[in-house]
Structure 1
Amino acid sequence: MKKLLSFLIVICCALAVYAQKKQDLKILYVGGSSNYDTFSSRPDSLLLVKSVKERMASFEKMLKRYFKTVKVVEGKDYRQKMSDDYDVTVFDGLFPAIRQKSYLYDDNGQVKDVISPIYFTDDFDRPAITIAELGEDLGRSLGIKSDWYCLCLDADAHSWVKDHPIFKGPFPVKLNVSLQPTPAAAKEYAKISAEVLPDSILMWKVQNKGYATDKGFRVGMVSRPNGYGDPDDEVISSGVCAKSIDAVALARHANFFHWGFSASPADMTPEGRQVFANAIVYISKFAGQRPVARKLDERITTRDKNLVKGMKYTLSRKCWEEYCKTNDEYNQQMEEMKKETLAKKAKGEKLNQIEEISLIYQPMKNPSYAMFLKQREPEMYHFFGEETGLYVRYYEINYPYFYGQGFNLAVDEDARELGIPNNDKRLLDTAIRMLEEGKDVEKATRILHHYTLCRFETPAEWRKWYDTYQDKLFFSEGGGFLWLVNTQDKTVPGNDYHVLDTVNVVKVESPSVVKNETDDNNPVLIEGKLNMLENGKQELAIRIKIHPGYHIYAKISDKDPYIPTTFDFQLPEGWKQEGEMQLPSFTQLDDNGTTVYTGECVFRQTFEGKGSGEIKCVIRYQCCNNTICLPPVEKELSFSVK
Structure 2
Amino acid sequence: MTSLRVVYAGRPATAHTEGYRRLLAEAFGQPKVIGVDELTTADLSGADVLIVDPGPGRLGNVEEHLILDGLSLKTFAVPTVLVGTAGGQLGDRLRLKLARSAGCACLGEHVHLPSPLHPVFQGPFRVDLGTARPVRTPDQFLRYAPFMPVPAKISALRVITTPQQEPGLATSGHSFLEGPDTEFIAGGDTSKGHGYPAIGRHGRFVLWGFSARAEDLTPAGSALLRNVIAYTAGLAGEQVNVLRYAKPRTMLIENGLGLLKDPHTETGDGQLKTETLRDVWGATAPAGADGDLDRRRAFWRENRGYIAYNGDFAGGHYLVDEDTRAWGIANDDITMLHRCLDALTAGKDAERAARLWTRYTGRPIEDLAAERRWLAENEEALYFSDWAGYQWQSTREPRPRGYRHGPRRQDRVRADLRAVGTMPGRVRVTVDVLVEEGWYVYAPGSAEGIPVLLSVRGEGGHVLEDVRCPEGAEGLLGGRFQIEAEMATEDCALSVRLRVQTCNKVMCEPPRDLWLTATVTRRNSVEPLRQTTA
The answer, yes or no, to whether TM exceeds 0.5 is yes
Letter of the aligned partner of 2:46 in structure 1? Answer: D
Highest CA radius of gyration, 1 or 2?
1
Q: Which residue of 2 aligns with 1:207?
A: 160
1:251 aligns with 2:200: yes
Q: How does 1:68-467 map to 2 (within 5 A)?
A: 68=29, 70-79=31-40, 82-93=43-54, 119-122=71-74, 124-148=76-100, 149-175=103-129, 176-180=131-135, 182-183=137-138, 186=141, 190=144, 198=152, 201-211=154-164, 217-229=165-177, 230-297=179-246, 300-303=247-250, 314=261, 367-368=268-269, 390-405=295-310, 409-455=318-364, 457-467=366-376
Structure 2 counterpart of 1:61: 22
* TM-aligned CA distance change 1:84 to 1:516, over 3 Å: same
Alpha-carbon offset, residue 305 of structure 1: 11
Counterpart-to-counterpart distance in 1, 2:189 and 2:412: 37
The 8 Å contact of residues 126 and 289 in structure 1, kept in 2 or not, is answered as no
What is the one-letter code of the residue matched to 2:16? Answer: R
**TM-score relative to the length of structure 2:** 0.64
Q: Which residue of 2 aligns with 1:499?
A: 405
Where structure 1 has 5 or more consecutive residues not aligned to the other structure, the ranges are 1-21, 33-48, 95-100, 103-114, 212-216, 325-365, 523-642
Structure 2 unaligned regions, length at least 5:
56-61, 279-283, 416-429, 432-441, 452-534
Distance 1:414 1:381 in 2: 15
Measured in 2, the distance between the counterparts of 1:502 and 1:151 equals 35
| Mapped partners of 2:413, 2:128: distance in 1 | 51
Letter in 1 for 2:92: R
Return the alpha-carbon distance in structure 1 between the equivalents of residues 128 and 172 of structure 2. 28
The answer to whether the 8 A contact 2:114-2:186 is kept is yes
| Matched residue SS, 1:432 | helix
Q: Once the 2 structures are TM-superposed, how far is the Cα of residue 164 of structure 1 from its aligned partner? A: 0.2
RMSD, aligned CA: 4.4
Report how many residues are paired: 406
> Which residue, out of 392, 415, 419, partners 1:483?
392
Identity %: 23
CA contact (8 A) 1:289 1:488 kept: no
- Pick closer, same or farther for the CA change 1:496–1:81 going to 2, 3 Å: farther
Give secondary structure in 2 for the equivalent of 1:129.
Answer: strand
Contact 1:28 1:89 in 2 (8 A): yes
In 2: Cα distance, 1:196 partner to 1:206 partner: 22
In structure 1, how many angstroms separate the alpha carbons of the residues matched to 2:70 and 2:447? 26
Partner of 1:108: none
SS of match in other structure, 2:319: strand
Higher helix share: 1
Contact kept in structure 1, 2:258 and 2:293, CA below 8 Å: no
Per-residue CA deviations over 1:14-71 (Å, capped at 9, x if unaligned) read xxxxxxxx22321111112xxxxxxxxxxxxxxxx8xx52222221211122214622
Contact 1:161/1:237 (<8 A) preserved? no
- One-letter code of the match for 1:248? P
Greater Cα offset, 154-163 or 286-295: 154-163
Q: 1:390 to 1:137 in 2, by over 3 A?
A: closer
SS in 1 for 2:4: strand
Residues 92 and 134 of structure 1 are in contact (CA less than 8 Å); yes or no, is this contact kept in structure 2? Answer: yes
C-alpha contact 1:296 1:503 (8 A) present in aligned 2: no
Measured in 2, the distance between the counterparts of 1:393 and 1:458 equals 40
Q: Secondary structure at the match of 2:235?
A: coil
CA contact (8 A) 1:232 1:254 kept: yes
Structure 1 residue 423 displacement after superposition: 1.3
Which residue of structure 2 aligns with residue 468 of structure 1?
377
CA contact (8 A) 2:79 2:205 kept: yes
Aligned counterparts of 2:35 and 2:289: Cα–Cα separation in 1? 58
What amino acid sits opposite 2:299 in the alignment? Y
In structure 2, the residue matched to 1:24 is: 3
Task: Report the TM-score, using the length of structure 1 for normalisation.
Answer: 0.54
